[in-house]
């Protein structure tokens, strides 16, 4: 499975960005898809993820501002980010797992596949 992320960039605080991630390869086994982020000097953290059946999980810091969605037919996952804050600045990674989870795992070690990061910079 290969994951290709896109959509990062520079935006002012309060602005919006949409990240996209396209999956290819042995995609039919994928269950959970989502986004992690890592800011300089900080640990990688789950931003949001969604199971094949539509169950979602969000970091508390992004609830109400970010929305994850998934197009199973197109093998895509999206992250709509609104009301961006400078503390959202990070490299965002698309991740996926074909583990048989019925929930969204929070531990990054649960994810088997990773895309290249895309940088999101929010200026104040």
Which of left, alpha, beta for 31 (phi over 0: left; psi -120 to 50: alpha)? alpha
Q: Is 90 exceeded by the pLDDT of residue 115? A: yes
pLDDT digits (tens, 9 = 90+) for 54-86: 999 999 999 999 999 999 888 999 999 999 999
pLDDT digits (tens, 9 = 90+) for 14-51: 999 999 999 998 888 899 999 999 999 999 999 999 99
Task: Supply the pLDDT for residue 9.
Answer: 97
**What is the rounded radius of gyration, in angstroms, for the C-alpha atoms of the chain?**
13
Please name every residue paired with 114 in a beta bridge, in sequence order, or none if there are none.
95
- According to DSSP, the β-strands at 17-24 and 32-38 are unpaired
């Amino acid at each position: 499975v290969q994951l290709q992320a896109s959509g990062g960039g520079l935006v002012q605080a309060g602005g919006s960005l949409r990240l996209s991630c396209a999956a290819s390869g042995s995609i039919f086994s994928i269950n959970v898809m989502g986004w992690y982020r890592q800011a300089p000097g900080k640990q990688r953290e789950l931003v949001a993820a969604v199971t094949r059946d539509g169950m979602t999980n969000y970091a508390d810091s992004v609830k109400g501002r970010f929305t994850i969605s998934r197009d199973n037919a197109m093998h895509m996952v999206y992250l709509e980010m609104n009301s961006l804050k400078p503390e959202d600045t990070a490299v965002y990674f698309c991740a996926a797992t074909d583990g048989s989870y019925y929930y969204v795992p929070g531990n990054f070690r649960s994810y088997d596949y990773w895309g290249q990061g895309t940088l999101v910079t929010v200026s104040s």
